[in-house]
Amino acid sequence: MATTTMVVSPLATQSPPKNKRRLFAEARQNSLHKLSVIFDHGNKNGNGGETTWCFSQVKGTLEDDVTEADLISCVEFNHDGELLATGDKGGRVVIFQRDPASKQCVPKKGEYNVYSTFQSHEPEFDYLKSLEIEEKINKIRWLKQKNQAHFLLSTNDKTIKLWKVSERDKRVTGYNTREEGGRPRDPARVTQLRVPTVRPADLMVEASPRRIFANAHTYHINSISLNSDQETYLSADDLRINLWHLEITDQSFNIVDIKPANMEELTEVITAAEFHPTECNLFVYSSSKGTIRLCDMRAAALCDRHAKLFEEPEDPQARSFFSEIISSISDVKLSNSGRYMMSRDYLGLKVWDFRMETKPVETYPVHEYLRSKLCSLYENDCIFDKFECCWSGDDHRLMTGSYNGFFRIFERSGGGGRRNELTLEASREAAARPRQPLRARRVATTAKRKKDEISVDCLDFIKKILHTAWHPHESIIAVAATNNLFIFQDKY
């Protein structure tokens, strides 16, 4: 058998010329860049590293005639972002589920469909105090999923409920003691025993209350927060914070009590409270005086002494009649990493590092242009609006609401770099331009107004964005605007 000897040219063993090597490197870099665009889910795009947001969906009617009961009062994604829950002033909870087809298409879409709707709370009357208890849903918090069912906590001013949301696509037939319609059967007519059978049925989503936690708060509940152990949670009202076990409804432990012996000596109230995302013994609560306290439940059963106090010194020259009102913290949220926390007061956002108590590490003005309007905002009670805030899943971005349907997104700087900030609008105009990039909005603070700016005197203070939520893993945000839920996503 003849053998063939391959002769390799010495030229073939030499390294390719530098220009070829450079072309290979550029081609490889371009390929990697394309892959990152496809698989990175759009955290960044090619526009200078900024996210380009576009309209995805709007839930609810866009009519001008809106009833008070239809106003959305809270918004919350579950831990994997597959479900999105809203509560309204009518005591209803509406759950949306991510459309499976929207996740499979390229690029992905952040589209949700109605999954379940149920009445969580009803109006009540406290006969001892002659007070009406509203059915409005103040907060919703999801439990981490452990099986096929989903669990969530919802609360109004006085009562907290644990709900189980489950699917049923089978039915049992062939009972011995019941007719097919469910009516009891006369035992005398039972002549033989049958083995019940399980048959397929139309999919039904059921919401049932599993626990009701009541009669523990004298004042209105403003916060509920699940512990990282997924067994306990806290609930806070104006003067007290209680610790609950999810399996025990008739007993709670008071862990914070700031009620003075003489109510005339009351100087502050609790405005928000939240557990640390990883340390089950730590929690924070904010006050109307602009302070945040970190408490450690290992130190004492009653956390009347805080472990740390986060407070920014007030500038005496800037003090005014409205200083105490606008410094009141309306919301506090801990970052997903557990290192930082964010607080929202009336005019801005502050990011605090747990290792530094004296001042915030980052400050973001939300609508500083309203400082000159505080007198009129006091007269129409807008100065008492409670704006919420939220973190993105990677803790790199912050979001909160404003007036005129505006909401603000801030991109945190890294290593002293430039911080990007964006003002967007949740409006009918955005809904009329699906998949089109949202136009950044600007507010003119001087008499000279540019073409794309809106005057501060023309802002609509009825259209306020109080409640927002950020998908835990993707660039999808939910914004509540009166009775509508707007869903925006990155234009991948």
- pLDDT tens, position by position, 439-468: 899 998 877 777 778 999 899 999 999 999
Given this model, what pLDDT does residue 479 score?
Answer: 97
Q: How confident is the model at residue 54 (pLDDT cuts 50, 70, 90)?
A: very high
User: Rounded to an integer, what distance in angstroms lies between the CA atom of residue 182 and that of residue 168?
Assistant: 17
pTM for the model stands at 0.83
Q: How confident is the model at residue 4 (pLDDT cuts 50, 70, 90)?
A: very low
Average pLDDT over residues 482-490: 93
What is the rounded average pLDDT for all residues in the chain? 86
Residue 457 near residue 447 (C-beta atoms within 8 A): no
Given this model, what pLDDT does residue 50 score?
Answer: 64
Given this model, what pLDDT does residue 1 score?
Answer: 42
**pLDDT tens string 204-246:** 899 999 999 999 999 999 999 999 999 999 999 999 999 999 9
User: Domain count of the chain?
Assistant: 1
Average pLDDT over residues 425-437: 84
Assess if residue 149 is contained within a domain: yes
User: Rounded to an integer, what distance in angstroms lies between the CA atom of residue 76 and that of residue 85?
Assistant: 5
Assess if residue 205 is contained within a domain: yes
Q: Which residues contact 5 (CB under 8 A, 6 or more apart)?
A: none
Return the structure tokens found at 10. 């010495």
Secondary element (H or E) of residue 93:
strand 92-98
- Quick one: DSSP state of residue 71? S
Given this model, what pLDDT does residue 40 score?
Answer: 39
471 has a pLDDT exceeding 50? yes
Return the structure tokens found at 105. 């298409």
**pLDDT tens string 84-140:** 999 999 999 999 999 988 888 877 788 999 999 999 999 998 887 788 999 999 999
Given this model, what pLDDT does residue 492 score?
Answer: 65
Instruction: Between 308 and 43, name the one with better pLDDT.
Output: 308
Return the structure tokens found at 295. 């408490």
Assess if residue 39 is contained within a domain: no
Given this model, what pLDDT does residue 436 score?
Answer: 83
Average pLDDT over residues 366-391: 95
User: Rounded to an integer, what distance in angstroms lies between the CA atom of residue 98 and that of residue 360?
Assistant: 36
Average pLDDT over residues 177-198: 78
Assess if residue 289 is contained within a domain: no
414 has a pLDDT exceeding 50? yes
Residue 396 near residue 413 (C-beta atoms within 8 A): no
Average pLDDT over residues 52-67: 86
CA-CA-CA-CA torsion for 480, 481, 485, 490, nearest 10 degrees?
-80
Assess if residue 101 is contained within a domain: yes
Q: ∠ CA 336-342-347 to the nearest 5 degrees?
A: 150
Give the CA distances from residue 155 to residues 95, 135, 161, 343, 488, in Å, rounded to whole numbers and listed in that order: 16, 9, 6, 22, 27
Given this model, what pLDDT does residue 22 score?
Answer: 61
SS3 of residue 22 by DSSP: helix
Q: How confident is the model at residue 174 (pLDDT cuts 50, 70, 90)?
A: confident
Instruction: Between 320 and 400, name the one with better pLDDT.
Output: 400
417 has a pLDDT exceeding 60? no
**83-113 residues labelled b (16+ CB within 10 A) or e (exposed):** bbbbbbbbbbbbbbbbeeebeeeeebbbbbe
Assess if residue 255 is contained within a domain: no
Range name among 30-39, 145-154, 166-175, 284-293 with the lowest pLDDT average? 30-39
Instruction: Between 69 and 187, name the one with better pLDDT.
Output: 69
Per the structure, the complete domain to which residue 119 belongs is given by 72-183+194-214
Return the structure tokens found at 304. 């009347």
Percent of the chain clearing pLDDT 90 (strictly above) = 65
Q: How confident is the model at residue 491 (pLDDT cuts 50, 70, 90)?
A: confident
Given this model, what pLDDT does residue 369 score?
Answer: 93
Instruction: Between 350 and 20, name the one with better pLDDT.
Output: 350
Average pLDDT over residues 23-29: 54
SS3 of residue 37 by DSSP: helix
Q: How confident is the model at residue 12 (pLDDT cuts 50, 70, 90)?
A: very low
Given this model, what pLDDT does residue 186 score?
Answer: 79
Q: First-to-last CA distance in the chain?
A: 61
- Quick one: DSSP state of residue 229? T
Residue 359 near residue 367 (C-beta atoms within 8 A): no
Given this model, what pLDDT does residue 85 score?
Answer: 97
- DSSP string of 251-305? --EEEEE---SSGGG----EEEEEE-SS-TTEEEEEETTS-EEEEETTT-SS--S
Return the structure tokens found at 271. 């405005």
Phi, psi of 87 (to 5 degrees): -120, 150
Assess if residue 303 is contained within a domain: no
Given this model, what pLDDT does residue 3 score?
Answer: 40
Assess if residue 145 is contained within a domain: yes
According to the 3-state scheme, what is the secondary structure of 399-466? EEECECCEEEEEECCCCCCCCEEEEEECCHHHHCCCCCECCCCEEECCCCCCCCEEEHHHCCCCCECC
User: Rounded to an integer, what distance in angstroms lies between the CA atom of residue 303 and that of residue 323?
Assistant: 28
